[in-house]
Amino acid sequence: MELTLSSSYLASLANQFGTPLYVYHAETIAQQFKKITSAFAPLNARIFYACKALTNIHVLQYMRELGCNIDCSSGNEVMLAIHAGFTADKILYTSNGIHFEEIAAVADTGAFINIDSLSNLEKFGQRFGKQYPVGVRLRPNIMAGGHAKIATGHDKSKFGIPVEQLDTLKEIVLRYNIEIKTLHIHTGSDISDAKVFLKGLDFLFELLHQFPDVKVLDLGGGFKVPYHPNEKETDLVALSKALQEALTQHPATRERSLQLWFEPGKFLVSSCGYLISKVNVLKPQGGITIAGIDTGLNHLIRPMMYEAYHHITPLAAAEGKTLKKYMITGNICETDTFAEEMMLPELKEGDLLAIHNAGAYGYEMSSSYNARFRPAEVLVQNDQARLIRRRETMEDLLRNQSGL
Ligand code: PLP
């Protein structure tokens, strides 16, 4: 798998800023954004960056400068979006299992809102009636997504209002005269079968006649990005064509103009990011050598949480070195294996490794478990590296603890 920044450059950043280190490449984000906007241009779709993937304020500002909208999953993400300069007409908020007061606080900002429970829809109706057009997140009973934990649209999922409860939903809408502007679904993440999005659109089409005010069909995020060299990115040009066809063929589009919205997270920021780590110890063991590195599940939890594959490239010159079998493990007091078995040019202690696809759900899901510091983050833009978050220190670990 190709590095988008040269290995010598990544190594120089590791030397300058220390390891472990998150490095993001701005132009890779721009390239992904261009890919999606040009593929979906004929659809007149709106793209909202699902910022739960990576909320560093500098990345959010960069997204805004690119012209992207933003999708938020908490009131605090909405606050960060505002801090990054997004105006309310560019902010979408999809709630999930939260207290109504968070929704009400987001409503104060004027952002677009999707509600995912009947209980909160009722409270929304009581508080706002027809004053605040709103969206509903539905549970379509579609099984999709790369791992059980990120399959969100199936019939046992906690997400969305189950489609079986549509009658009650409509009663609430009528009782409080709520204007439902958006029908939303998000069936999962890491979806390799693009037909899932067509299935999702069909599902929403089926319901459309029951919602006369709906102008937006929001199909969520979940586009596939290659984590493994054998994997392929979702073909967005083909998907766009198929969605266009479905839209033009559907009678509803003759009666009212409909807009499609998408909320990609991984697609925009996964490939821009690397977690650079140093080999601490080598432990030969049978036919394999364990390479213990200076990071762990506290910094990148995806391999442990989702059994996700992350490609790893050594940053030292590989020429002339023989390939050896390695197990790459973290330094946390749990089994935190980044790769069970990987053939790599012979490593020595102190060597640097780049873990690919660390932009999405990497730093964002990190913690200070084992009282280890969260890494620094660096953004490379126009060949300039900028420290966009410093490494944590002991002060950060002690902050907010009383009696010190
Ligand atoms: N939209 C919603 C509602 C989500 O829950 C998620 C991910 O959890 C996304 C969008 C982004 O998904 P992905 O990063 O796979 O594109």
pLDDT tens digit sequence for 93-120: 998 889 999 999 999 999 999 999 999 9
Number of domains in the chain: 2
Contact assessment for residue 14 and residue 352, using Cβ atoms and an 8 Å cutoff = yes
Q: Specify the amino acid at residue 57.
A: I
Q: Is 234 in the pocket of ligand 1 (CB under 6 A)?
A: no
pLDDT tens-digit map of 216-245 = 999 999 999 999 999 999 999 999 999 999
Given 244, 268, 292, the domain boundary residue is 268
Q: What mean pLDDT is predicted for residues 60-83?
A: 98
Atom of ligand 1 nearest to the CA of 360: 14
Note whether 190 and 306 are same-domain residues.
no
Give the pLDDT confidence score for residue 155 in this predicted structure: 80
Question: 74 and 205: one domain?
Answer: yes
Statement to judge: residues 199 and 318 lie in one domain: no
Regarding the beta carbon of 218 and ligand 1, being less than 6 Å apart is answered no
Tell whether 342 and 227 lie within a shared domain. no
- Domain limits at 41? 26-268
The structure tokens listed for 315 are: 């940053």
Do 189 and 331 have their domain in common? no
pLDDT (0 to 100) of residue 300: 98
Ligand 1 touching residue 357 (CB < 6 A): no
Q: Output the residue whose Cα is nearest ligand 1's atom 8.
A: 189
Q: Over the stretch 325-373, which tens digit does the pLDDT of each residue have?
A: 999 999 999 999 999 999 999 999 999 999 999 999 999 999 999 999 9
In short, whether 75's Cβ falls inside 6 Å of ligand 1 is no
- Please indicate, yes or no, whether residues 255 and 323 belong to a single structural domain of this protein: no
Which of residues 268, 299, 323 is at a domain's end? Answer: 268
pLDDT tens digits, 390-400:
999 999 999 99
What CATH number is associated with residue 298?
Answer: 2.40.37.10
Residue nearest to atom 14 of ligand 1 (CA): 265
Q: Are residues 202 and 109 in the same domain?
A: yes
Cα separation, 71 vs 258, whole angstroms: 19
Task: Give residue 395 CA to ligand 1 midpoint distance, Å.
Answer: 33
**CB under 8 Å to 65, separation ≥6 — which residues?**
none
pTM, two decimals, is 0.96
Pocket test for ligand 1, best of 70, 116, 152, 186 (most atoms within 8 A of CB): 186
Q: Let me know whether 219 and 124 are in one domain.
A: yes
Compute CA 314 distance to the chain's CA centroid, rounded to the nearest angstrom.
26
Residue 43 belongs to a domain: yes
Whole-number Å distance between alpha carbons of 118 and 163: 11
Atom of ligand 1 nearest to the CA of 137: 3
| Domain assignment of residue 3, yes or no | no
Decide if 72 is catalytic.
no
Asked, for residue 190, whether it belongs to a domain, the answer is: yes
Residue 8 belongs to a domain: no
Q: Is any atom of ligand 1 closer than 6 Å to the C-beta of 222?
A: yes
Per-residue pLDDT tens digits for 367-380: 999 999 999 999 99
pLDDT at 296 over 80: yes
User: Within a domain: residue 99?
Assistant: yes
- Ligand 1 atom, smallest distance to 184 CA: 3
Last-in-domain residue among 214, 242, 268:
268
- In CATH, what number is assigned to the domain containing residue 232? 3.20.20.10
Q: 351 in ligand 1 pocket by Cβ < 6 Å?
A: no
Residue 249 included in any domain? yes
Asked if 286 and 248 sit in the same domain, the reply is no
**Greater pLDDT, 254 or 239:** 239
pLDDT at 156 over 80: no
